[in-house]
Amino acid sequence: MKVAAVYTSTTPELVEMVESELKAQFSEDNLEIISLKNPDILQEARDAGGVTPHCARELINLYEEAARSGAEIIFNICSSIGDVAALAKPLYESCGVSFVRIDEDMARAAVKAGRRIGVIATLRTTLEPTKRLIQACADEAAVKVELVDALAEGAFGLDQEQFKKKLIETGRRVKEKADILVFAQGSMAYAAKDVSEALGLPVFSSVAYGAKAVKAAADKRAWGKEKSA
Q: What is the pLDDT of residue 129?
A: 92
Q: Are 2-102+208-228 and 104-205 equal in CATH topology?
A: yes
Q: What is the pLDDT of residue 227?
A: 61
Q: What is the pLDDT of residue 228?
A: 61
Q: Which residues contact 175 (CB under 8 A, 6 or more apart)?
A: 118, 199, 200, 201
Domain boundaries in the chain?
2-102+208-228, 104-205
Q: What is the pLDDT of residue 229?
A: 54
Q: What is the pLDDT of residue 199?
A: 97
Kindly write down the DSSP assignment for every residue of 40-93, as one continuous string: HHHHHHHHHTS--HHHHHHHHHHHHHHHHTT-SEEEE--STTHHHHHHHHHHHH
Selected from 3.40.50.1860, 3.50.30.30, 2.60.40.10, 3.30.565.10, the CATH number assigned to the domain covering 2-102+208-228 reads 3.40.50.1860
Mean pLDDT by 10 residues, the chain (229 residues): 93 91 88 96 92 96 98 95 94 97 97 96 90 96 96 85 94 96 93 96 96 96 69
Neighbour order of strands in the sheet with 203-204:
146-151, 116-121, 180-183, 203-204
Q: What is the pLDDT of residue 156?
A: 76
Q: Which fold has domain 104-205?
A: Rossmann fold (3.40.50)
SS (H, E, C) 155-196: CCCCCHHHHHHHHHHHHHHHHHHCCEEEECCHHHHHHHHHHH
Q: What is the pLDDT of residue 65?
A: 98
